[in-house]
Amino acid sequence: MSDTNSTTTTWPGVQFGIFTVTDITQDPTTGHTPSERERIAATVEIAKHAEEVGLDVFAIGEHHNPPFWSSSPTTTLAYIAAQTERLILSTSTTLITTNDPVKIAEDYAMLQHLSGGRMDLMLGRGNTGPVYPWFGKDIRQGVPLAIENYALLHKLWREDVVDFEGKFRTPLQGFTSTPRPLDGVPPFVWHGSIRTPEIAEQAAYYGDGFFANNIFWPAEHYQRLIGLYRQRWEHYGHGAPETAIVGIGGQAFMAKNSQDAVAQFRPYFDNAPVYGHGPSMEDFTEMTPLTVGSPQQVIDRYAGMRDLFGDFQRQLFLVDHAGLPLKTVLEQLDFLGGEVVPVLRKELAKDRPAIVPDAPTHAARVAATYGDGPVREARPRANRGDNLSGPSPYQDTPAPVGAAFGLGGAR
């Protein structure tokens, strides 16, 4: 294996972490709006502190418009990887519709090598409609783009030489993406969705993870999406519904007592770009997982997520948006790492069926691929695309998921 940290550290059961949408928002209590440089530097400090307090995952979104700054997640995550030792680095999300699959394959395989396997990624279609024409795509083709582009990405990480012809890009003939995946094992992929059943279907088809970012709508909506994913997981032969890999989102703001938390967070909620000037904070906390209160209230709320969605593998919290100053965000991480997550780990481990898999890690997936056998290492030769010798450890890749939706094109 390529990195000691990726082989000796494990995250059994549920992984806990944070995700950022990277908004640059005025602090409504002081009037201060951070510069891009200030906000980027603060985000790096937040990620480093997440590791220091014992969290498992840091994930960053991808945006190409103000007030967000994270247009290049892999650059940011590689920089953070160089300053951390244990933290899993992920995205929330990588735009599978408007990014070229070849570039995704190359960029995230590179991040996989640089981080020693401490990474995965979440694919999604995004929530900013204009991003499609910015990258020469048609928003009306959003779902077909997601299906075809992932069919290609899946092949690029599993086949040393790829031939591909689809509807949305020029054909590939004898193409090899570089670098090859670390240890011959592709990065783990989560398919993120707020509203789209086709994405749950896609995740189930490939046997990938499904991340339901349930921060905006009532729980019943996400129960249906996760239920569909589990049913289709079993349909495609990956195992019982309980063995599906599920992640969920969350939001919290804490103080030692609930009254202080409500008073401190209200101006930020009322002006937040993601939900400000809409429902009241009280209505929003009732309808969604947003919890504003004491650490114990957050524990009680999130321990109950298991009753809503079944056993799951990843829980991410949004804690750094809406203009909250860095000092306040670091205090929120102290609450999460010091008081909330240790209790949630114990609560979610109680009576967890043996059939439920642990959260995915690179080390565990390498062990599942090779057992006690030697780990494959790519050694390119300088000739056309077929520059790797030796047998592949992979099974033949299944037919493109587009077939499951009656869509042609990829082959």
The tokens describing 323, both together, are: 């203009």
Please provide the CATH number assigned to the domain covering 4-405: 3.20.20.30
Half-sphere exposure of 197 (CA within 13 A, CB side): 9
pLDDT tens sequence across 205-246: 999 999 998 777 788 889 999 999 999 999 999 999 999 999
Q: Residue 167 and residue 144: Cα distance in Å, rounded? A: 9
Q: Residue 209 and residue 313: Cα distance in Å, rounded? A: 9
DSSP letter, residue 54: T
pLDDT tens sequence across 300-356: 999 999 999 999 999 999 999 999 999 999 999 999 999 999 999 999 999 999 999
- Whether the per-residue pLDDT at 399 is higher than 70: the answer is no
Closest by CA position to 16, among listed 49, 77, 57: 57
Note whether 187 and 109 are within 8 A (CB).
yes
User: How many CB atoms are closer than 10 A to CB 85?
Assistant: 12
- pTM beyond 0.75, yes or no: yes
Q: Residue 92 and residue 78: Cα distance in Å, rounded? A: 15
Q: Residue 24 and residue 34: Cα distance in Å, rounded? A: 7
pLDDT tens sequence across 288-308: 999 999 999 999 999 999 999
pLDDT tens sequence across 376-394: 887 765 444 444 433 444 4
- Whether the per-residue pLDDT at 274 is higher than 80: the answer is no
Q: Residue 74 and residue 63: Cα distance in Å, rounded? A: 13
Q: Residue 332 and residue 51: Cα distance in Å, rounded? A: 13
Report the DSSP pairing between strands 209-212 and 246-254.
parallel
CA–CA distances in Å: residue 82 to residues 87, 91, 111? 11, 17, 11
Question: pLDDT class for 12, splitting at 50, 70, 90?
Answer: low
Note whether 241 and 230 are within 8 A (CB).
yes
Closest by CA position to 205, among listed 163, 146, 159: 146
Helix then strand then coil, % of the chain, to nearest 5? 45, 15, 45
Amino acid symbol at 34: P
The tokens describing 278, both together, are: 């809409």
User: How many CB atoms are closer than 10 A to CB 96?
Assistant: 27
Tokens 């997440």 sit on residue:
50
- Whether the per-residue pLDDT at 275 is higher than 80: the answer is no
Q: Residue 112 and residue 105: Cα distance in Å, rounded? A: 10
- Whether the per-residue pLDDT at 409 is higher than 90: the answer is no
- Look at residue 66 in the predicted model and tell me its pLDDT: 83
Q: Alpha helix locations (H) across 82-126?
A: 101-114
Q: Residue 178 and residue 385: Cα distance in Å, rounded? A: 10
Mean pLDDT value of segment 106-114: 97
DSSP string, 332-355: HHHHIIIIIHHHHHHHHHTT--TT
Domain ranges of the chain: 4-405
